Amino acid sequence: MVVSEPVPDKESVNKRNPAKSSTVSGSLPMKLKILYSFGQMGVNIPTYFFVYLWAIYSPHGGTQLIPPALLGTAFGVGVIVQAIANPFIGNLSDKLKWKMGRRRPFILIGAIPLAISFMLLFRPISQNQFSNFVYVAADFALFNFLYTFVVLPYLAMIPEISLNSDDRVKLLSVSSYFNVFPTILILFLTGILLEKGYSFFVIGAGVSILIVISFFVPLVAIRRERFQSLSPQSFKLPEAISSTFKNRTFLIYVSSYVFIIFGMYAFVNALTYYTGIVILPGSSVQAYSSFSSYILAIVFIFLAIFSVVTMKLSKKLTKKRAMIILSSILALGMLLLGIIPSNPSMELLIPMLAIVGLGATAPIILTYAVLSDIIDEDEIRTGYRREGMYFGIQGLIERVPYALSGMFVGWYYSAFYLPTSSQMTIRYIPFIAAFSTVIMVVIFTRVPLKEKLKG
């Protein structure tokens, strides 16, 4: 049974943790914000790099090493493994008291195996479709477990090292630049290298090295979670999960979040198909794969440009209103990409990508700041800091639409693609993405978010 107790106020929580009360209004130094943010490269670049798996194993107009439906299934199986692992890793990182801290040992142990499993995804083992399917499904499952093992503790450090709401928005804004600018560089470089004939495996190996470096920088810089004195976690795993789901704010928030995840990644997973059929019809696999890199890079350029707008908007209107406005803009951008004419000019394509980039600042910049406020609310309610569990439960739940997005693209392409109607078939995907994002906005309006409980 979940522990039931009167809801303590902020003063009583501070009395319970006197060391924390003296630091609760403090800000993380900018140097440490920057060094912590290096890890965002390892968090985000692999996620967007998986768009190339479709071009490697199930290319439009090329040799299929894995049928699209089976590749989608392998994608789904791997992500389900991550979903199952999330609450266990989250709870473990909340409860363990290691000399290095609660979170850092996970990064130290898992970063290198994570990078190796990522690299191997980009090297097919044979021409046999079933062998490749088994290989990709197994390695993708391993990658997803290791991704949870490393990334969840890394993200769970956010509310621990940055103790007030405004400072977290600043930290996450700094982090977004380490998400955005390296991603832009990697995507442009990938496009150029593909045009020059380099293999996906060689490019993936280079990205693997970057993953290791990106996680080891904050590992060295954040010597321990020293900015907050934490009350002990007494919940057992079932009780911790049950208590988390009883947080009404979190439940409504995460119910809305799954829809924007599905919509965004359904389009990302279909991007090589969309580019090969709508943007560059009749082009080679190498050509449309390369151009897909440039499309993603352009979106991230605009995301970087508009991140300042997002910060100001969230501060002026609250994070909740900013999420609603920006997510609506993202839905509009997806809708426009669904009606864009075939083989469009760059003068027409770039403004549409700019709209998508502005809207994408909501899930990429504001999401973790919103969740951190929800964790603060939970601490006021229960007296416990449970970052790992909240990030773990969110990770578990978001993996479901993330897995479904990959499965959907593979099954959809296999079931409905016809050369005579390929334009309309693939155009439905951005429409579906837009509709899913609109559902997110409608649900998110009901989130009773309490902001700035700290600072």
Assigned domain for 259 exists: yes
Binning pLDDT at 50, 70 and 90, where does residue 294 land?
very high
* CATH number of the structural domain spanning residue 427: 1.20.1250.20
Binning pLDDT at 50, 70 and 90, where does residue 141 land?
very high
- Determine the Cα–Cα distance for residues 256 and 384; give it in Å rounded to an integer: 25
Helices and strands in the chain: count of H runs, count of E runs:
20, 0
> Other CB atoms closer than 10 Å to residue 249's CB: what's the count?
17
Two tokens at 64? 């299929």
* Helix, strand, coil % in the chain, rounded to nearest 5: 80, 0, 20
Two tokens at 256? 């809305």
The domain total for the chain is 1
Assigned domain for 15 exists: no
Assigned domain for 250 exists: yes
Residue 256's domain comprises 28-444
Assigned domain for 251 exists: yes
State yes or no: pLDDT of 95 exceeds 50: yes
Assigned domain for 415 exists: yes
- Determine the Cα–Cα distance for residues 178 and 175; give it in Å rounded to an integer: 5
Place of tokens 């943790």: 17
Could you report the per-residue pLDDT of 72-89, keeping only the tens digit for each?
Answer: 999 888 878 887 887 788
State yes or no: pLDDT of 2 exceeds 60: no
Report yes or no: 140 and 121 within 8 Å, Cβ to Cβ.
Answer: yes
Report yes or no: 113 and 267 within 8 Å, Cβ to Cβ.
Answer: no
- Determine the Cα–Cα distance for residues 359 and 183; give it in Å rounded to an integer: 17
Report yes or no: 401 and 265 within 8 Å, Cβ to Cβ.
Answer: yes
Assigned domain for 34 exists: yes
Distances, alpha carbon 444 to alpha carbons 259, 293, 297, 313, 441, in Å:
10, 31, 28, 17, 5
Report yes or no: 335 and 442 within 8 Å, Cβ to Cβ.
Answer: no
What is the SS3 assignment for 412? Answer: helix
State yes or no: pLDDT of 25 exceeds 70: no
Residue 332: which residues within 8 A CB-CB, separation 6 or more? Answer: 355, 359, 434
- Residue 7 confidence (pLDDT): 39
Assigned domain for 101 exists: yes
Q: Any idea what the Cα angle at residue 213 is, between residues 208 and 215, rounded to 5°?
A: 100
Written as one string, the DSSP assignment of 5-19 is: -----HHHHHHHSHH
- Residue 235 confidence (pLDDT): 57
Report yes or no: 402 and 72 within 8 Å, Cβ to Cβ.
Answer: no
Could you report the per-residue pLDDT of 356-407, keeping only the tens digit for each?
Answer: 999 998 888 788 778 888 888 887 777 776 776 787 778 778 878 888 888 8
Could you report the per-residue pLDDT of 225-237, keeping only the tens digit for each?
Answer: 554 444 444 556 6
What is the overall mean pLDDT for the chain?
A: 83
